[in-house]
Amino acid sequence: MRRFCLWLALAAVSVVKAGAQDPTAAALARFDEMKFGMFIHWGLYAIPAGEWKGQYYRGIGEWIMHHARIPVREYEELARQFNPVKFDADQWAQLARDAGMRYLVITAKHHDGFAMYGSKASSYNIVDATPYKRDPMKDLSAACARRGLAFGFYYSQDQDWHEPHGRGNTWDFPGERKPEIYFRGKVLPQVRELLTGYGPLALIWFDTPGMLSVAQVKELRNLVKTLQPSCLINSRIGHGMGDYLQTSDNAIPIQVLAKQKWEVPATLNNTWGYKKRDQNWKDPADLIAKLADIVSKGGNYLLNVGPTAEGVIPEASQRILRTIGKWLEANGEAIYGAGHSPFYLPDITWRCTTKPGRLYLHLINWPGPNFRFEGLESKVNRAWFLATRKPVSFQQKGSVLDFRLPPRPVDPYNTVIVLEIADEAPRVAPDRRYDRIPAQVDLWAWTARLRGEEIRYDRASLSATNFHKAETERNELWWYPYGSLEGEYRVELTYACSDAAAGSVFRIGVHRGNQPPHHEVRGRIEGTGGKFVTRPVDGVLRISPDDLFISFSLPEGDASASLQLRKLTLIRKGS
């Protein structure tokens, strides 16, 4: 504890020094300390909750206006019904604290154009257009301040389906856009309101720059930094002008990403805004493991809740978040303020976070009584379980550590072993360093983004299944290299499939953006008798650092939808 307190004091000194030089640097240091935050998507879309005029619409709930092509005048009628009388800012902020979250970000205006605060720039807002007649953002900002939670706003600065010169609504406004009219008339004045009316903001979370020019984005950034120099800006402001990288939604890099600070926005189920049919709640064990995975790779985790139109965060969300919070009560030392793994991540058994003189091994898939850990050259003085403080037996020979563990996990979600080492910073064998990606890389289903409403991950078999065919929100797996892979790769597939379900064509694609793959390999799912096998795929996959993601899908038919995909293995050609 003494060493930990000393480390916190040194970190505070470094923040003060950074702040004396640059407010953004100091803010990034604080952001890096926090690690875990609450995202809230709340708006008029919580009323239809995924359905319009009796019809269910696939996809995320806050996009109902776009998916159903709802005319502006019809969608505006929702404001007359919006009366969140059960909203309690203190309950929301306390839930974030109970979950172990250190910051909160809420939608001030999403793509539907409706302001969830009292905007003077547009009467289309919760104070002027609804029977509620109050500004919930003032209450929430104050509730967060009382609990020491950093506070920030989401603001859609380009897409606005309510405005003729905003992007996205082609059914009401098919004509040519003049972004400058929208930018001057709504974006700048509303962002100014957010920066001047709600106290200090930790960040503004912009989304999809789209039509905005370099000059407009620069002006927007200057507005933020002039009014609140310590307010961080995410990379979705556009044109490379963000303070930190915003990954794609639910997109975790496959390896350590240490070149810049970054954050993963993620959902508790399939949707962001409330959608009454979506009960696909994620397992707390999976979310706790993903928190460790993200922090071990250098990122922050921004986990979303979607309140109802009455202002209630669903009970299932609350249970899940409080479970995460209980784990953090015992293990938060291994998360808050922790550094990224000094090792590359060969599988999904463990993750590693660091502090001066200590390593934290997160055992997210229990290895059994014998666990071998390779690559650490620093001498280990002692080891113990973080949650119980009980010692862990080990032997060290060179850069190999052999642990004797109980037959079952100490913690059902993520057992953390603390290693006290002789060096302030760990010495790592050259072939195990985080920045030395090996010639063979396993892309596990667990590390992929699960796309689609039906697809599921099964922890027992470490595999994804239910690749049912759909026209929108297709059921696929997406992996994000974020520049860590380059070259030509042979591919192997590890999966199980009943013989009766064999036959579908599969595709492994490489994508530069959210478009069809520019390069791919294909094959056919063969039956395995239901047992997991590893089989080579014909062809070579070409990957460059500019590629955004790698996908696995069944593009032609879903007869093999029940296959269980455990991983893809990429083997660099010539190795």
For residue 128, the domain's CATH number is 3.20.20.80
Task: Note whether residue 12 is domain-resident.
Answer: no
Whether residue 453 is found in the same domain as residue 567:
yes
Task: Note whether residue 326 is domain-resident.
Answer: no
Residue with tokens 């606005």: 160
d(CA 162, CA 168): 9
Whether residue 356 is found in the same domain as residue 232:
no
DSSP one-letter code for 185: I
Residue span of the structural domain in which 209 resides:
35-316
Residue 238 buriedness (CB in 10 A; 0-12 / 13-18 / 19+): buried
Task: Note whether residue 528 is domain-resident.
Answer: yes
- What SS3 state is found at 41? coil
Write the DSSP string, 146-170.
HTT-EEEEEE-SSB-TTSTTSBS-T
Whether residue 424 is found in the same domain as residue 469:
no
How many domains are contained in the chain?
3
pLDDT value at residue 276:
97
In a 13 Å sphere around the CA of 490, the CA atoms on its Cβ side amount to 11
- As averages over each run of 10 residues, the pLDDT of the chain (575 residues) reads 33 40 95 98 98 97 98 98 98 98 98 98 98 98 98 98 98 96 98 98 95 97 98 98 98 97 98 97 97 98 98 98 98 98 97 98 97 98 98 98 97 97 98 96 98 96 96 93 96 98 98 94 98 98 97 97 98 89
pLDDT value at residue 171:
98
Residue with tokens 């999976």: 286
Amino acid at 75: Y
Task: Note whether residue 42 is domain-resident.
Answer: yes
pLDDT value at residue 502:
98
Does residue 134 contact residue 87 with C-beta atoms inside 8 Å?
A: no
Residue that terminates a domain, selected from 376, 404, 432: 432
Task: Note whether residue 338 is domain-resident.
Answer: no
In a 13 Å sphere around the CA of 557, the CA atoms on its Cβ side amount to 8
Residues paired with residue 489 on neighbouring β-strands, in sequence order: 541, 572
**How many helices, marked H, and strands, marked E, lie in the chain?**
12, 28
pLDDT value at residue 417:
98
**Per-residue exposure over 9-48, b if at least 16 CB sit within 10 Å of its own CB, e if not:** eebeeebeebbeeebbbbbbbbbbbbbbbbbbbbbbbbbb
d(CA 263, CA 261): 7
Task: Note whether residue 264 is domain-resident.
Answer: yes
Whether residue 58 is found in the same domain as residue 120:
yes
Residue with tokens 């979303």: 304
